[in-house]
Amino acid sequence: MQTILIAEDEKDIRQLVSFNLERESFSTISSGDGKTALSLARSNIPDLIILDLMLPVMDGFEVFKELRLDSRTKDIPVIMLTAKAQLDDIIAGLEMGADDYLTKPFSPKELMLRVKALLKRVKTSTGSTIIESSQIRLDKNTLHCFIREEKIDLTPTEFKLLLILIEREGVPQNRNDLLREVWGYRETANSRTLDTHVKRLREKLGELSRCIETVRGVGYQYRNIIS
Ligand code: CA
């Protein structure tokens, strides 16, 4: 059974989220303040964290920073919850490395889809495991990425995004399709998630960042620049 930590100070939301997750057979632990959430994360090592940004004692950003500094918690996928109006918070959260976000009010159904999509990304896959292109090597079993022999530290979400783009080399990928496939978004969304992840991915790829091309009005495509 997979465990999900809910860090949310609004009791109604906390209970609603926890109820919906447990109905889907997840086990949940929760906290109404950031500091307790952080210690729960360290003692339980949950499979995923739903993190509200506005939390008492220690806010969500602080909690997130601490999680990423600790080798035991740094790889736990995080979905941030934000108030609708806080676009700056959303961008800051994504740039810090959050995997996804939802703005309040959100539907529990949407949250469940995002949770499942995110957990699926972390799982290992079967079949042919090594994908190679432009000196980038992806190992689908370990989720490791190498450029030549150097290991590049990608989050599972960044890995999945890069994998999809490379597997469909030269074919423009529609924004909404990517949001649906990688993040589980149900419908057309004007989301910051995709662009922020592409930006981070390009930074990590360094000189090979040119491999990921922006296709205006469509989305992104991968081009093998070495072959
Ligand atoms: Ca709050």
CATH topology of domain 3-121: Rossmann fold (3.40.50)
Tens digit of pLDDT for each residue in 152-188?
999 989 999 999 999 898 999 999 999 998 998 887 6
**Single-letter code of the amino acid located at 41:** A
**C-beta neighbour count of 130 within 10 angstroms:** 11
Cα–Cα dist 190/8, whole Å: 25
Q: What are phi and psi of 153, to 5 degrees?
A: -85, 100
The structural domains of the chain, with segments of one domain joined by +, span 3-121, 130-222
**Single-letter code of the amino acid located at 75:** D
**Residue 102 bridge partners (DSSP):** 81
| pTM for this entry | 0.79
Per DSSP, 182 falls in state: I
Give the Å distance between the CA of 81 and the centre of ligand 1: 8
CATH code for the part of the protein at 130-222: 1.10.10.10
**C-beta neighbour count of 158 within 10 angstroms:** 23
Beta-carbon neighbours within 5 Å of ion ligand 1 = 9, 52, 54
Give the Å distance between the CA of 56 and the centre of ligand 1: 8
Beta-sheet pairing, 136-139 with 130-133: antiparallel
Tens digit of pLDDT for each residue in 61-108?
999 999 999 989 988 999 999 987 788 898 899 889 899 999 999 999
Give the Å distance between the CA of 172 and the centre of ligand 1: 39
